[in-house]
Amino acid sequence: MIENWEEFYEEMEKLSLPELEVMIKELYQKFQKSKAYSDDRLNACLLQRKLLINRNFIFTPEAVMHIERVNSILTKSTAKVLKRTEYLCRKMVQLKAKGDDFLDDFNVEGTVAVGYNGEESILTFDKDENNGQSDYQVMADVLDFTNDAFEYLRRFSISDGSNLFSGEPEDKFIIDEMMELNWNDELLSAPELSFIEYFCYASHILFVDSADSLSAIIRSNDFRNEVKVTHQNWGEKLTV
């Protein structure tokens, strides 16, 4: 909880974008050294940065092209992760049905994420809509560390113990109702984006719900799809 939060917010809202990012960097260094799970002041400054940048964001043809690019990547990524998650679920069900002596249960987890792993994770444009006032590299690192923007955008998890399926070919392992909706709301409802027929839920999480700004998101170049399988064995137990 921020002490004297009214005074803090009042001072923070007076800062220009460069001044705000200086404060973010200072708070970030302190947060890295602390053992705290989160820092309210740092989170507030990141949200204020998003507000400042988005307020002056111009939907140029290039910017719109990259918004469409990011949405297309995330839409395809969601479908890929779902497909692979279902495929591996079936394989695990088949393995267990054959009497595998290790497999008491299993869990298959699929995730879609955007991250920061150095300079190649951020695209450099010839024109900067913020006139060089934002340090996209450092801010991406901050957001990655604090997990405000770079947490999982989508996560699917299913285990044999859930008894949600029998493993038959016609069974649907995961029903993703979010994919059935068009998430073209709030920032993604801008008239300049109306030609984009569909915005996926992962785009909504990244563009709308995260603390990242439009200017930073369109520079994203590090998308990660991952599916993990956990084989679980309960081990030997004494009978009482």
Residue type for position 99: G
* Per-residue confidence (pLDDT) for residue 146, from 0 to 100: 82
Both tokens assigned to 24: 């973010």
Question: Is 166's pLDDT higher than 80?
Answer: no
pTM comes to: 0.87
* Per-residue confidence (pLDDT) for residue 2, from 0 to 100: 66
* Per-residue confidence (pLDDT) for residue 178, from 0 to 100: 81
pLDDT per residue as tens digits for the range 170-182: 555 566 778 889 9
How would you classify the pairing of strands 223-232 and 152-159?
unpaired
* Per-residue confidence (pLDDT) for residue 158, from 0 to 100: 84
CA atoms of 27 and 213, how far apart (whole Å): 19
* E runs forming strands in the chain: 105-114, 152-159, 223-232
* Closest alpha carbon to 145 in 29, 19, 12: 29
* Closest alpha carbon to 109 in 91, 86, 76: 86
